[in-house]
Amino acid sequence: MFIVLLGWLYVLLMVSITMPSLILGILTFVLGGLAPAALLLYVSGSKGRRARQRRQDAPSPDPGDTNRNGPDR
């Protein structure tokens, strides 16, 4: 997925270089390339952020507890 994203940013950079004015080129690159890329990276990273938050919220095991699998049956 990242190679596609890099390809898309490269194409948009080439397109924005050919724009008739500097402002239009910058706007084309930012609105057509950087904004969608940032949104894509944010959405694709949400699963990792959610898992990291769950790990932080989970209680850590007691270091003195030798029975880590729960009570015996």
Domain that holds residue 16: 2-41
- In the predicted structure, residue 73 carries a pLDDT above the cut 70: no
What residues have CB less than 8 Å from 36, skipping those under 6 apart? 8
pLDDT at residue 72 in the model:
56
The verdict on residue 28 lying in a domain is yes
Q: pTM for this structure? A: 0.63
The verdict on residue 32 lying in a domain is yes
The verdict on residue 70 lying in a domain is no
**Total domains in the fold of the chain:** 1
pLDDT at residue 64 in the model:
61
The verdict on residue 37 lying in a domain is yes
- In the predicted structure, residue 23 carries a pLDDT above the cut 60: yes
* CA 54/CA 56 separation, integer angstroms: 5
Contact 37, 8 (CB under 8 A): yes
* CA 18/CA 34 separation, integer angstroms: 17
